[in-house]
Amino acid sequence: MDQPDLTPLQAVRARIARAATIAGRKATDVELIAISKTHPPERIMPLIEEGQRVFGENRVQEAQGKWPALVEAHADVKLHLVGQLQSNKAEDAVRLFDCIHSLDRPSLVSALGKAMDKAGRQVPCFVQVNIGEEEQKGGCAIADVPALLASAREAQIPVIGLMCVPPAGIESAPFFALLAKIAADNGLDQLSMGMSDDFETAVMLGATHVRVGSALFGARD
Ligand SMILES: *Cc1c(COP(=O)(O)O)cnc(C)c1O
C-alpha cells in the first residue's frame, strides 16, 4: 500500500493515521517525533519547512551543536531527548530539551530534580523501562518502576509516561503490550514506543509518542 507520490513525512503520517483508525484511536492522539540524530541541519530543515515540529536527538552534545540555530529560526519547534543521559549532562539537557524520554535510575532523578530547580523549568519526562530485561540496555528494571516513579514524584519531576526500546530482532508487540500494562498499573497514560520498523504496531497498542528516524531521513551512516 505504499503511495509513491507522498513525501516520507506524509507517508509516515498516513501510516500512523491508518494504524490509529484500525485501533479505534485518533491520529491526533499520536505524536510523531522525528529522530534527527546524525543528520545535519540541512537535512532537518526541509522537514521543518514541511510542517514537522517535534524532533528527537539521542546525544546532548550533538543536539547542542545543531539545534539552537534551528530553534531560533522556528520558535515553535520542540526537541525531545531519546538517548541515555549522563547525570553530569542533566543541566544542559534541562536547558535544551522540552521532554526527556530516558529517566531510568535514582542518580538521574536527583540530578534532574536539581537541574530543574536551578533552571526554574519543569521538563516532562518518560521513565525508560528495560522491557526485555537486557543486560546491556538502558532503562529501569520492571520491578523497580514503582520505586523510581515515587522518587521522581518526590523530586517534583513531572513524569508523564513510560518509554521502551524492545529487544532487536524479535516481535515488538508483546513488549509494547507489557509496557502499556505497566503504565496503566502505575496510573500513567502516555507511552513512548515504536520506531521505524514497528511504529504501526506500537500505535495499535496505545503509543502516544512514536520515535521515527530512518523512515523519515533514510538510513544513518
Ligand atoms: C535512533 C532511535 C530511534 C529511531 O530509530 P529508527 O529505527 O531510525 O526509526 C528511536 N528511538 C531511539 C531511542 C533511538 O535511539
- pLDDT per residue, tens digit, the chain (221 aa), is 556 789 999 999 999 999 999 999 999 999 999 999 999 999 999 999 999 999 999 999 999 999 999 988 899 999 999 999 999 999 999 999 999 999 999 999 999 999 999 999 999 999 999 999 999 899 999 999 999 999 999 999 999 999 999 999 999 999 999 999 999 999 999 999 999 999 999 999 999 999 999 999 999 88
Tell whether ligand 1 has an atom less than 6 A from the beta carbon of residue 206.
no
Tell whether ligand 1 has an atom less than 6 A from the beta carbon of residue 59.
no
Angle between helices 106-119 and 145-154 (to 10 degrees): 20
Give, using CA atoms, the residue closest to atom 13 of ligand 1.
82
* Residue 48 forms part of a structural domain: yes
Domain that holds residue 56: 8-217
Cα 106-173-58 angle, rounded to 5 deg? 45
* Residue 3 forms part of a structural domain: no
Query: Given this model, what pLDDT does residue 207 score?
Result: 98
Tell whether ligand 1 has an atom less than 6 A from the beta carbon of residue 161.
no
* Residue 169 forms part of a structural domain: yes
* Residue 95 forms part of a structural domain: yes
The answer to whether the beta carbons of residues 107 and 134 sit under 8 Å apart is no
The answer to whether the beta carbons of residues 96 and 59 sit under 8 Å apart is no
* Residue 79 forms part of a structural domain: yes
Residue to substitute in 33, 81, 82 for testing ligand 1 pocket (most ligand atoms within 8 angstroms of CB): 82
- Give the CATH number of the domain where residue 170 resides: 3.20.20.10
State pTM to two decimals. Answer: 0.97
**SS3 category, 57:** strand
* Residue 2 forms part of a structural domain: no
Residue to substitute in 211, 217, 220, 221 for testing ligand 1 pocket (most ligand atoms within 8 angstroms of CB): 211
Neighbours of 2 (CB within 10 A): 7
Query: Given this model, what pLDDT does residue 121 score?
Result: 97
For the chain, how many structural domains are there in total? 1
* Residue 45 forms part of a structural domain: yes
Query: Given this model, what pLDDT does residue 221 score?
Result: 82
